[in-house]
Structure 1
Amino acid sequence: MTTGIVAVAMSDDLRHRLISDRDWDRLAAVAEVRPVPDAAADPGAVDGADVCITGWDTPSLPFSWLVGGDRPVLVAHTGGSVRHLVPAAALDHGVRITQVAAVLAEAVAEFAVMSIIAGLRDAVSFATAMRAGESWAALAARPPGRLLRDQVVGIVGASRTGRATLRRLRPFGCHCLVYDPFIDDVEAAGLGAQRIDLPALLRAADVVSLHAPVLPETRGMIGAAEIDALRPGALVVNTARSALVDSDALLTAARAGRVRVMTDVFDTEPLPPDDPWRHCDGVVATPHIAALTAETLRDQGAVTVDEVLRFLAGKPLEHEMSRAAYDTYA
């Protein structure tokens, strides 16, 4: 006996990557599961569903479905940001949302720390030179890297990912600063960091790692003046969103050799083959893969299915997004 209808509004390819056969069977055991591989072409396919499972290729959900029923529906997102799927007004009408930001944070934080260490040790440049046949003597004569233990690392944003990054930095013994207007000195100390304002962080940090959400208040928060304030040779790591930064100013600084950049996010994605971000010597660019691991994909699907089963059984959700959190989440 089924207890509801679950629409799965994502492409077949993405559905198979995220939802294992076991998790699909768990859903099908308690609900009528309705695949919707092209929700843009058939938005009415979610009508009557109690739950809609969404992915990063899901278009905005029909407002009529979100608020038109006689009981609240659940949007169960297999990614992080839900702003493109559900308008704030829908939450005011009782729509419930769950998402897997906590799962994604673990992978992104690991990638951020990897980027910090690789950037400080100039690992990519050394590997590229080795492949190009540079002599051993010339390689040995290059400037040495820097030890993470002796660096000041500035974390911009005490988000889930920012906090997970701070946890992973603790064993290295580096001095961590954190900027976030929503935490106080005591909370920052509990995270192993010193709370500081953004201008002071940018002046003091050897490494600046971005973990803030994109909100009206944070868009462009690292502008040309902020980039000019960075310490010479500072490393900027961005695994969050490119909209936090004046990309042109940052690229100019990297080209001039004033800063080095490890970035996983760009103003235009996919990044065109001729884009200058791909070809700047002071930049290591990766194709928005910080959260992309085989284990994370599996966990995204499993945690989402767990939440759907809780909802259908009338149990509390573990990853529900509140109305207040919606306003401060990317």
Structure 2
Amino acid sequence: MTKPLVLLDPFPRQRERIFNPAQWERLSAMAEIIEDKHAPMADSLIEAMLPEAVAIIGQTALPTDRVERAGKLRAVLNVEGNFYQNIDYHACLTRGISVLSIAPAFAVPVAEMVLALALDLARGVTAADSAVRAGTERYGLSGNPDALLISEARVGLIGYGNIGRALRRLLSGFAADIQVYDPWLPDSVLRAEQMRPTDLDTVLSTSQFLFILAGVTSDNQGFLGREALARIARDSVVVLGSRAGVVDFEAFVELANAGRFRAATDVFPAEPIAGDDPVRQSRLLLSPHRAGGIPAAMETIGEMVIDDLGLILRGLPSQRMQPARWETVFKMRSPPARGGHAPDEDD
């Protein structure tokens, strides 16, 4: 019996980083995998194989004309993590082609990282290390004049998607008072998650720990402008862990430099960061967009793809990956990976 044909076009990721040998053996057993030694896959190969392809693993451009020629296509399994606007989602969804993302694979790794950044800012971990190395350390209480506890503190989440839900589970052991602002979710959903729904002004002005986790969409680009950022509670801990596009990044850095709040970020407006970018000399705690790109996440990606592809080939609905939805997919505005950005370190 002929195996179904699947195109593997994972750029900017690499096949070897997504699928370990055992996973690759499982994938190869269920389908005939067509891949290209070049990355991304050559247009000529895509055009030749697309009419017979049952699935695409990757974020291959699929304008309307390609979708129309892909008569057997059932699913696009995006392994980058964002729903880019290089696909005619209307054509895919109209024809019953599932477009899926592995974004949930990064939820726990990113949640752990933003929590680690917050704890560092609250307890001065990096600052204390630098002081010891410089011979200026202070011991005991004198070394903790500005230390904060996250336990039982008021914590605010802006955005309650995959990362927010993973972070809530991590925060449960801290008995924190968690409030959430997410205009895409009704209050009843947040209350069912034991979260307290609130408005933007309240979450900004009353949270001692604030996590900015909203993805960037056509509705919210730069919605945390200078005026909104100025309402953040003084001396609070603020972690930007989703996309730089949701904030006025210049204002964010300026206010942190002025001591209005303690800040950390894992994301930047342009990546890689320019060598002379002033953020390098700022007071922010900096992480170079590495929160999600860890080996465990890559292994999870491989498992998710194999599990859902196996279901799809049996005529069953996917269970592990995140589906593109009519109501929201056209709003997504995350930028594609840029030149120089390590292909397996973005999330």
Would you say same fold, with TM above 0.5? Answer: yes
Aligned to 1:71: 72
Select between 184-193 and 300-309 the one with higher mean Cα deviation: 184-193
Match of 2:269 in 1: 267
TM-score by structure 1 length? 0.90
Residue pair 2:118, 2:239 contacting (<8 A) in 1 also: yes
Alpha-carbon shift at residue 85 of structure 1 (Å): 4.0
**Map of 1:181-220 to 2, 5 A cutoff?**
181-220=183-222
Q: Quick one: structure 1 residues 131 and 293, their matched pair in 2 at CA, closer, same or farther if it must change by over 3 Å?
A: same
Normalized against structure 2, the TM-score is what?
Answer: 0.86
Q: Which moved more, 1:101-110 or 1:221-230?
A: 101-110
> How far apart are residue 177 of structure 1 and its match?
0.8
Q: Work out the CA distance in 2 between the residues paired with 1:172 and 1:268.
A: 34
Offset, 1:40:
4.6
Once the two structures are overlaid, the 10-residue window that deviates more, 176-185 or 66-75, is 66-75
Alignment partner of 1:323 out of 315, 320, 326: 326
State the match for 1:167 in structure 2.
169
2:109 pairs with 1:107: yes
What's the CA shift for 1:269? 0.5
Distance 2:17 2:152 in 1: 41
1:3 positional shift: 2.7
Per-residue CA distance 1:93-128 (angstroms, 9 max, x = gap): 423212222221121112122222222112111122
Computed over aligned residues only, the root mean square deviation of the Cα atoms, in angstroms, reads 2.3
In structure 2, what residue type is equivalent to 1:189?
R
* Partner residue in 2 for 1:97: 99
Q: Are 2:56 and 2:76, in contact at CA under 8 Å, matched by a contact in 1?
A: yes
107-116 vs 127-136, which deviates more? 127-136
The one-letter code matched in structure 1 to 2:209 is: V
Per-residue CA deviation, residues 197-238 of structure 1 (Å, 9 max, x unaligned), is: 101111111121111121121111110001111111122111
Matched residue, 1:249: 251
Percent sequence identity is 25
Further displaced range: 226-235 or 319-328: 319-328
Residue of structure 1 in register with 2:345 after alignment: none
Q: How does 1:2-81 map to 2 (within 5 A)?
A: 2-11=2-11, 14-38=14-38, 40=40, 42-46=42-46, 47-48=49-50, 49-54=53-58, 60-61=61-62, 63-81=64-82
Comparing 180-189 with 21-30, greater Cα deviation is found at 180-189
User: What is the distance in 2 between the residues matched to 1:90 and 1:82?
Assistant: 15
Q: For 2:30, what is the secondary structure of its paired residue?
A: coil
Q: 1:152 aligns with which of 148, 151, 154?
A: 154
CA contact (8 A) 1:3 1:312 kept: no
Q: 1:165 to 1:301 in 2, by over 3 A?
A: same
Deviation at 1:164, TM superposition (A): 1.5
Number of positions where the alignment pairs a residue of Structure 1 with one of Structure 2: 326
Report the Cα offset of residue 142 of structure 1: 5.3
Give the Å deviation of 1:138: 11
Where has structure 1 moved over 6 Å in runs of 4 or more?
none
Match of 1:110, SS? helix
Q: Residue type matched to 2:325 in 1?
A: S
| Aligned position for 1:299 | 300
Name the CA distance, whole Å, in 2 between partners of 1:276 and 1:138.
34
Cα pair distance change 1:260/1:60, threshold 3 Å: farther
SS at match of 2:229: helix
Deviates more, 1:132-141 or 1:243-252: 132-141
Secondary structure of the structure 1 residue equivalent to 2:268: coil
Q: Flag structure 1 segments of 5+ consecutive residues without an equivalent.
A: none
Matched, 1:313 2:314: yes
Alpha-carbon distance change, 211 to 136 in structure 1, aligned in 2, over 3 angstroms = closer
Q: Could you tell which deviates more after superposition, 33-42 or 91-100?
A: 33-42
Partners of 2:248 and 2:176 in 1: CA distance: 27
**How far apart are residue 246 of structure 1 and its match?**
0.1
Q: How does 1:112-151 map to 2 (within 5 A)?
A: 112-136=114-138, 140-141=142-143, 143-151=145-153
Between the aligned partners of 2:85 and 2:44, the Cα distance in structure 1 is: 18
Partner Cα separation in structure 2 for residue 176 and residue 243 of structure 1: 24
- Residues 159 and 137 (structure 1), Cα distance of their counterparts in 2 relative to 1, 3 Å cut: closer
Q: CA deviation at 1:190?
A: 2.5
Which of 165, 174, 179 is the aligned partner of 1:177?
Answer: 179
Contact preservation (8 Å) 1:2, 1:30: no
State the alpha-carbon separation in 2 of the partners of residues 235 and 85 from structure 1. 37
Structure 2 alignment gaps of length 5 or more: 335-347
TM-superposed deviation, 1:249 = 0.4
SS at match of 2:90: helix
Determine if contact 2:150/2:209 at 8 Å carries over to the other structure. Answer: no
Q: Which amino acid aligns with 1:126?
A: A
